[in-house]
Structure 1
């Protein structure tokens, strides 16, 4: 399937997700990534067509820009700690609807918003589906870490059987810096048959802020 057809499919899926789930007076979490762009564009159309009263919470600087660009009502989690609907994408989805997210570097805020949402909609094309995490997404599990801890953490991840790599920035020298001022280490653990157990082990390590393993968030 060529890229144009894939993009068209993503756009149609995003529009349907919005049409089927967005209602008046909702608080909506806006995720990050290319598919979410189509969802936000459709939300903006509905606001104008139906005069909807919606409040949108960003999960990243990218989604903040999308909300502002599309002239949607920008609010924040400290104002509205209970979210009606979160719309986001994913890098990989397994048979139990566990996710790998964070390829775009926004995993922590995305997980915070998702965990405080009554409903989470994940929009993804067929390329993201797999039986087990790690089958198709070969870049590893994104793990956000405190900068001073990255060297010992990389050694720790190696002892756990992973292949860690500090994510580097593309338009500047040095590592990528997250919206929270942290580093991201991408760790290839191979095929992940028990993502919940791996996630728990990683979160117990001092210096780990959070992981790109989203467990039992989607339904």
Structure 2
């Protein structure tokens, strides 16, 4: 149970639990992908079963869709929902302006489409994801398989002109084969170390033939919910300019904590 969770998992759980309270019956909600988002889906499933919460969830990956259905959440496509009240997702990094790097789980394209089709995007993360400058986490770029090596060379050449510390890119692998996204594309991970101008880099990368989307989320996130290993939660709203702090009690629940896959 919660006593067996690591401090990082406790932080992820309390962030997800606090963000789940933002979901109201009747909403259409984007459901993110990754380990922290999996906690969110579990928390929301518990609220559906025990509190009668009724909402429609739009998953950002096949993994999230499967988990949402498993815990009793009504799943619909973005085309069915058309527009969302809220999207809640994790992040690999976020800075003081709530700019993000996402895509560590390989779902950045669907995640960005869903997030930008929402009235509000909320990021849930443990405190370790906050950085002064983006770039320590490799920046994912989703590329079409055709000519991916040429695209990789073009990306590396373009990075010479960018305000970054590193220019090495690697093809993400799944064992001995390239990792393939839900949309049938590949991912290049750009090891940049520091990104001096995220907005410029995002625009330049997306102008490149072969690049479908990049993992920089600029001016998309509205709120970040940060979890700490001792149960503290901090909610920062960049639009309102407010910061709220509270402490959540850990809830013992076999349904919530059993068989949770990252």
- List, as ranges, runs of 4+ consecutive aligned residues in structure 1 with deviation greater than 3 Å: none
Determine the structure 2 residue equivalent to 1:68.
69
**Equivalents in 1 of 2:77, 2:144: separation in Å?**
24
Determine the structure 2 residue equivalent to 1:163.
168
Determine the structure 2 residue equivalent to 1:207.
210
For each residue in 1:58-83, what CA deviation from the matched residue of structure 2 results, as whole angstroms up to 9, or x when unmatched?
Answer: 10011111111111101011111110
Question: What is the TM-score of this pair, normalised by structure 2?
Answer: 0.78
Determine the structure 1 residue equivalent to 2:102.
101
Deviates most, 188-197 or 41-50: 41-50
Question: What is the TM-score of this pair, normalised by structure 1?
Answer: 0.93
Q: 1:86-165, aligned counterparts within 5 Å?
A: 86-135=87-136, 137=137, 140-159=138-157, 160-161=159-160, 162-165=167-170
**Equivalents in 2 of 1:130, 1:79: separation in Å?**
36
The structure whose residues are more often helix, as a share, is 1
Determine the structure 2 residue equivalent to 1:10.
12
Q: How far does residue 5 in structure 1 lie from its aligned partner after superposition?
A: 1.4
Show structure 2 runs of 5+ residues with no match.
161-166, 223-262
Q: How far does residue 22 in structure 1 lie from its aligned partner after superposition?
A: 0.7
Q: How many residues align?
A: 212
Report if aligned partners of 1:44, 1:70 keep a CA contact under 8 Å in 2.
yes
**Equivalents in 2 of 1:92, 1:168: separation in Å?**
21
**Equivalents in 2 of 1:157, 1:44: separation in Å?**
41
Q: Secondary structure at the match of 2:6?
A: helix
Q: Secondary structure at the match of 1:184?
A: strand
Determine the structure 2 residue equivalent to 1:80.
81
Deviates most, 48-57 or 64-73: 48-57
Q: Secondary structure at the match of 2:78?
A: coil
Q: How far does residue 52 in structure 1 lie from its aligned partner after superposition?
A: 2.1
**RCO (CA 8 Å, sep 6+): is it higher in 1 or 2?**
2
Show structure 1 runs of 5+ residues with no match.
none
**Equivalents in 1 of 2:116, 2:210: separation in Å?**
21
For each residue in 1:188-218, what CA deviation from the matched residue of structure 2 results, as whole angstroms up to 9, or x when unmatched?
Answer: 2231021010000000001110001111111
For each residue in 1:132-162, what CA deviation from the matched residue of structure 2 results, as whole angstroms up to 9, or x when unmatched?
Answer: 1014x2xx21000010121111111221232
**Equivalents in 1 of 2:213, 2:156: separation in Å?**
18
Q: How far does residue 41 in structure 1 lie from its aligned partner after superposition?
A: 1.2
CA RMSD of aligned residues (A): 1.4
